[in-house]
Amino acid sequence: MGNFSDDMLNLDTLRKILVREEDTIIFSLIERAKYPINSPLYDKRPGLSGSLFEFFVKESEAVQAKAGRYSSAEENAFFPDNLPPPLLPLRDNEQVLHPRGASININEQISNMYHKQLLPLITSNGDDRNYAITAGRDLDCLQALSRRIHLGKFVAEIKFRESPENYTRAIRAQDKDALMKLLTFTSVEEMIKNRVEKKAMVFGQEVDLKENDNVGKYKVNPSVVSRLYGEWVIPLTKFVEVEYLLCRLD
């Protein structure tokens, strides 16, 4: 992590970071939901190698790479090939992750989930031609989701260090089911799903000075946020954890 050192690597600290990431994800969804789906943004364009959105993401990531974004172990690019090097010297980050697992990048899956499943649930139909601003909002959502999900590498490293014997047995057997069982805390997952639903109600409520005018109206449907976590964010985080652990002894 950007400024994370070995002695801060414990489950309590990491879970607090994940809780704070919930706020970032929910606020970014609220911001994206302000605009309709704007589907021409995602259509292939003559003269560009892909869509206007892909162009926007590639160019934004190149600037952010120069500014050092991808020097942080929890940041992963959506177009990681041929990124320019950072302009400033690399921060001297302590390498807390195992090198093989550190390079796991499941952004393609995250991007598919975002575009095919999530976006239609949080946007209205339509095209207001605000493509640049929409692309910026999309990138904010994708980066927040990606960061949260790839933090699973740190969670996995902590769990391995806290219980090396149990994990080593499952890793040597390359037993994905056993690893999944070891790293799963169902009660924690339930709490998260309930909390993000409540946060979506609080952060996304319509505020009006007249009482009761907007009761029950939200900028993003709170049950969609709970579903996002239950069906995609938590399972993908666990997928990252398992993939990380599988190569932890390499």
C-alpha closest to that of 75 among 54, 100, 102, 50: 102
Q: How far is the CB of 192 from ligand PRE (least distance, A)?
A: 5
Return the ∠ at Cα 19 (arms to 18 and 20), rounded to 5°. 90
Q: Are 231 and 194 spatial neighbours (Cβ–Cβ below 8 Å)?
A: no
As beta bridge partners, residue 44 has 51
Tell me the residue number closest to ligand PRE, measured at CB: 237
**Which C-beta is closer to ligand PRE: that of 18 or that of 246?**
18
Q: Are 69 and 75 spatial neighbours (Cβ–Cβ below 8 Å)?
A: yes
* Residue 117 φ/ψ, nearest 5 degrees: -105, -50
**Binding residue for ligand PRE, selected from 139, 141, 192, 225, defined by CB under 6 A:** 192
Q: How far is the CB of 216 from ligand PRE (least distance, A)?
A: 28
Residue 231 touches ligand PRE, criterion: CB under 6 A: no
190: how many CB neighbours lie within 10 A of its CB? Answer: 11
List binders of ligand PRE among 71-130 (CB under 6 A): none
The piece of 60-68, 114-122, 164-172, 234-242 that touches ligand PRE (CB under 6 A) is 234-242
Q: What is the DSSP letter of 6?
A: G
Here's the x/- map for ligand PRE, 41-60, by CB under 6 A: it reads as --------------------
Residues lying near ligand PRE in the complex (CB under 6 A): 15, 18, 155, 183-185, 188-189, 192, 234, 237-238, 241
